[in-house]
Amino acid sequence: MSGETGAAQPAGLRILRFAPAKLNLTLAVVGRREDGFHALHSVMMPLILGDAVAVTLASGAAGARGDTLRVAGLGLPVTPDNLVLRAIAAARGAVHATWPGAPSTPPALAVRLAKRIPVAAGLGGGSSDAAATIAAALEAWGAALSGDALVTLAASLGSDVPFFLAGGAALVTGRGEFVAPLPDLVGESPAALIVTPRLAVSTAAVFEAYAGGERPRTQAALAVSERLAAELRAGLSGSALVSGAADLAAANDLLPATLSVAPSLAAFRVALERLLGRPVGQSGSGPTAWVLFPSLATARQAARLVRLGIRDGNLPPIGDGDPFVAATVTAGRAGITMVVESNRSGGVA
């Protein structure tokens, strides 16, 4: 997204971007920063599960009608503080003096968002939407930002947003603003079963509980996280990642705090692990549980088993309705590129 600026796109041309969900395969909290944020060490990986963002350049100046957002799919209220609208406003402010139409203000954008990632789930959906929107907005305006300016812009919108600029697995440190890309897995990409209870879990409340003492007694998560990053740099295979799932599932320092904020998650996670016979991890501050599988076919079988377990009462009821259940695949850079091209040819629902 950096480089030379070009001509703005003609009004009416639709620009499509894929916005993948992410998994925290590890999440270690390594201290408290002077700015009040917690410092993290997390290996994160994108998924083929994702949202789709379509941006159209409107005619006229930005103030003539304003940016608009329409959402289809999973329910999401459109409010002025929505990350997509904030991303457009922030990008416009960052390039207003350098885009091809300067000194005029970059024009308004109309955005359609096909929402497939559960909201407030620990999967980074809003952050990914913001990163995808920044890319689409810059293309629509024929504008560009340097790498550093792009990261600064992304970090101003949220801690997870810079990760989605990497386009693949990455080691994320600081509060999320330091992103070191990691090599793709070697061989076939493993699959992941995603189970998200329809349960509101506030990230701020989870970190507050962590600061109040709801935390692991050891620094095992940091050791696992450092080892995973080193193994990826050395050429980790997808099968080896699945084999080490038990260590990864235990390497989330926020899990005790999440369970203190949402106690009903504890029994649900125990029942889920018993039902599937595999380690159950947590993405971010939750409530999403993830389970790794060697193939998409086995993950889909597990998804059917979970849905049956919900129906038959083998999984305890939790939250407001049945959990979101999806089988997907961890995504390397090539996989993300394929989905992007598919979205461009197929459009946004």
More confident residue, 212 or 335: 212
Task: Identify each DSSP E strand in the chain by its residue range.
Answer: 14-24, 28-32, 38-57, 68-73, 109-115, 170-174, 178-181, 191-196, 281-282, 289-293, 324-329
Same domain, 22 and 154: yes
Helix (H) or strand (E) holding 207: helix 203-211
Asked if residue 339 and residue 323 are part of one domain, the reply reads: no
Quote the domain boundaries for residue 72.
14-182+334-346
* pLDDT band for position 222 (cuts 50, 70, 90): very high
* Six token digits for residue 262: 């949402």
Statement to judge: residues 40 and 76 lie in one domain? yes
pLDDT higher than threshold 80 for residue 342: no
Count of residues in the chain:
349
**In terms of domains, do 111 and 201 share one?**
no
CB-facing half-sphere around the CA of 44: CA atoms within 13 A:
34
Is position 9 within any domain?
Answer: no
Residues 20 and 148 grouped into a single domain: yes
Q: Decide if 268 is inside a domain.
A: yes
Asked whether residue 211 is assigned to any structural domain, the reply reads: yes
Position 168 pLDDT exceeds 90: yes
Does the pLDDT value for residue 263 go beyond 90? yes
Task: Give the per-residue pLDDT at 349.
Answer: 47
C-beta separation of 145 from 92 below 8 A: no
d(CA 75, CA 83): 15
- Secondary structure of residue 247 in the 3-state scheme: helix
DSSP letters for 308-326? HHHHHTSS---SSSSPEEE
Domain count for the chain: 2
Residue 144 sits in the same domain as residue 235 = no
* Count of Cβ atoms closer than 10 Å to residue 199 Cβ: 19
Checking if the pLDDT of 270 tops 70, the result is: yes
Per-residue pLDDT for 337 more than 90? Answer: no
Q: What is the DSSP string of 139-156?
A: HHHT----HHHHHHHHHH
Helix/strand/coil for 246: helix
Q: Which pLDDT does position 2 carry in this prediction?
A: 44
Place of tokens 């629509």: 140
β partners of residue 31: 39
* pLDDT at position 320 over 80: yes
Instruction: Kindly state whether residue 195 falls inside one of the protein's structural domains.
Output: yes
Identify whether the C-beta of residue 319 lies closer than 8 Å to the C-beta of residue 276.
no
Per-residue tokens: 324: 């979101």
Cα–Cα nearest to 155, from 143, 147, 9: 147
Using an 8 Å Cβ cutoff, are 71 and 113 in contact? yes
Residue 4 belongs to some domain of the structure:
no
| Structure confidence by residue, pLDDT tens digits, 42-61 | 999 999 999 999 999 876 44
* Residue 158 confidence (pLDDT) above 90: yes
229 and 215 share a domain? yes
- pLDDT category at 330 given cuts 50, 70, 90 is very high
Specify which of 11-25, 65-79, 157-171 reaches the highest per-range mean pLDDT.
157-171
232's CB contacts (< 8 A; 6+ apart) are 43, 169, 182, 183, 185
- CATH code of 50's domain: 3.30.230.10
Determine, yes or no, domain membership for 232.
yes
Percent residues over pLDDT 90 in the chain: 80
Residues 118 and 175 occupy one common structural domain: yes
Q: Confidence band (pLDDT; 50, 70, 90) for 79? A: confident
Average pLDDT across the chain, whole number: 91
Q: Cα 47–50–53 angle (5° rounding)? A: 140
Q: What is the pLDDT of residue 4?
A: 47
Q: What is the pLDDT of residue 184?
A: 96
In a domain, 25, yes or no: yes
Q: What's the burial of 153, exposed, middle or buried (CB within 10 Å: 0-12/13-18/19+)?
A: buried
Tell me whether residue 3 is in a domain. Answer: no
For residues 42 and 156, membership in a common domain is answered with yes
Please, what's the b/e burial string for 275-300 (b: 16 or more CB within 10 A of its CB; e: otherwise)?
bbebbbbbbbbbbbbbbbbebbebbb
Residue 133 and residue 203 in one domain: no
pLDDT tier for residue 241 given thresholds of 50, 70 and 90: very high
- As annotated, the active-site residues are 22, 160
Assess contact for 141 and 13: CB atoms under 8 A.
no
Q: At 256, which CATH number?
A: 3.30.70.890
Residue 73 predicted with pLDDT over 90: no
Of all residues in the chain, the percent with pLDDT exceeding 70 is 89
| For residue 345, pLDDT beyond 70 | no
Name the 3-class secondary structure at 171.
Answer: strand
Residue 143 in this model has a pLDDT that exceeds 70: yes
Same domain as 220, residue 176 = no
* 178 & 228 share domain: no
